[in-house]
Amino acid sequence: MTILRRTHNDHVPLAPACEDAGIESDASSSKVHSAVPPPPRRLKKRRWSFSTAREEMEDWLLVAACVALVLVCLLWFLGKVLAVLSWLFLPLLDSIVTFVVEHSGRHHQHQHEHLHSQGAEALKETLPLNSAYAIPHAHPAVGDRSLEYAILRQEIDSLFPEDHKRSLLAVQELQVHKHLQVAPTIPVNKNQHNSDQLPKPLYDIYNCPPQPPKGYPFQWKLTDLVENWNPEDTQVPQMIYNGLCVFDYQKDLDTAMTYRNAELPFVVVDDPRIDAAAERWNIPGYMDRMLGDVRHRTTMSETNHFLYAIPPPPGGRAQMRGGRKHRRTAPPGWTEPTEATRMKYSTWLAHANVTDEKSAPDQPHWYYRLIGCGLTGPDGSCDQGSSEYLYDELPFFQPTPGGLYLRDAEKQKGIHCRFGQKGIVADNHFDAGRNTIVVLGGSRRYMLASPDQCPNMALYEKNHPSARHSQVNWSDPMDWENFPQFKQALGNEVVLQAGQALYLPNNWFHHIISLDLNFQCNTRSGRGQEYMQEIWDCGFDEI
């Protein structure tokens, strides 16, 4: 086969039939077709219709749904990642916050050392705030600033936002003890021979007059109270001897302030802040998380009676208490009545939450204690493992001037909480400071007596390790024979349940019985001169 090679000057002749017509032959059409462009193609216009718009809308909705689904999945995934990261790094972040607070604590501690000299102005000093969550009713000068507590409160507050009606109903369900009241009455004049004469009521404890009536609070013989209801019995009888006025915080606040300023004891109910705290503390699992694994003070007694004592120091050295020297001396053969230790809340709960058989009076009992240092040590230096969150949990005990529960906010000495096992008896004693007591779970019986009953209380002398406490066993009538003056003692009683508070002036006697497992907190706010003479005359001139 011969291959013909063509140069660019060669001319390829058209086929004879096509040359005259000016039409390219098939052989050459591929080379010269571009020289004659084809006619432009006419595009068809797309007609708009409702069906077309609907299809487009469906397409867009499908795309939007897919995008939303992707975003939801992405957010879910990020949430899981953040949860894992927070679980891994929360201890580290909390340590960082604690480090910052501790290094700034010296500055704040120096500020608060001037509290008593500067008066209420010192309460304006602030602690570093935690930006993770603004705890409701937090005080600027006291409280817990840790990240862990802020996260716990944020979680629980979102589930149980402030709602007094709900909290009040929750508290009412916790108040299981119902009883009648022996009314304070004017005794019948026995010299009058009028068979129709009946005792006249002095006052109605649930509707007390604006000014304290003469002889308030009414007192009966303590032996009558004990014979009606022995302290070893935790079952509430039908009738009790309560002589204290019961004030509704939302209706009777002014009257309650009048009684407090007169330094007289009374009970407060229906305080929204107390109800909220009581509701929160009874949420299953909340106390476990709040207290965690911190080991708090715990007192153990081999029986259900707890007699407070300060062991004498070695060598009989004098101890400084309240700015004065106190020399404690133990009698021969004296042994400390209780044992002090520390344990986690869960451990204490396992000891305390036992059957009645294992909680009999002759069995070991356990008393648990939390301390919030507050202005006595904003950095928590007043106690190992201090519970500064108590000032956030119990805002009604914050050192704010003008409140009902702290007569002198500048002289507050922390918040102290004691968790009692059923059947515990804290033996009769008096305290030198004004005291406000609130029960946040369970119930307690308080047997009270005025300081003028001091000569009848058979107290240990002031230098005894258990000074200020009664020697007589109130539960044992046989022991009364050893202390005949006790038979003349007068007093009254009140059953304090969850959500209720008791104001107790300084030097008033109180004998406390835990009717079931309970949470009780109290705070003290200085001392007045009321009732001091009665205590001095009783041999306690240095308290």
Q: What is the pTM of this model?
A: 0.76
Q: What is the pLDDT of residue 446?
A: 98
Q: What is the pLDDT of residue 73?
A: 86
Q: Which one has a higher pLDDT value, 32 or 225?
A: 225
Percent of the chain with pLDDT over 70: 76
Q: What is the pLDDT of residue 146?
A: 92
pLDDT confidence tier of residue 292, bands split at 50, 70 and 90: very high
Q: What is the pLDDT of residue 113?
A: 39
pLDDT confidence tier of residue 430, bands split at 50, 70 and 90: very high
pLDDT in tens, 37-59: 566 655 455 555 556 777 778 88
The 3-state DSSP composition of the chain as helix, strand, coil percent (nearest 5) reads 35, 20, 45
- The position carrying tokens 């409280």 is 143
pLDDT in tens, 431-454: 999 999 999 999 999 999 999 999
The answer, yes or no, to whether residue 517 has pLDDT greater than 90, is yes
Which residues, 6 or more positions from 502, have their beta carbon under 8 angstroms from its beta carbon? 244, 265, 266, 267, 268, 436, 437, 438, 446, 494, 496
Q: Which domains can be identified in the chain, with CATH numbers?
A: 64-159 (no CATH), 164-188+199-311+336-537 (2.60.120.10)
| CB-count exposure of residue 60 (10 Å: 0-12, 13-18, 19+) | exposed
Q: What is the pLDDT of residue 4?
A: 41
The answer, yes or no, to whether residue 467 has pLDDT greater than 50, is yes
Q: Which one has a higher pLDDT value, 259 or 25?
A: 259
Q: How big is the chain, counted in residues?
A: 543
Greatest CA separation for the chain: 164
- In single-letter form, the type of residue at position 443 comes to S
The answer, yes or no, to whether residue 115 has pLDDT greater than 50, is no
Which range among 70-79, 125-134, 301-310, 464-473 shows the weakest confidence by mean pLDDT? 125-134
Region 141-157: mean pLDDT is 94
pLDDT in tens, 403-426: 999 999 999 999 999 999 999 999
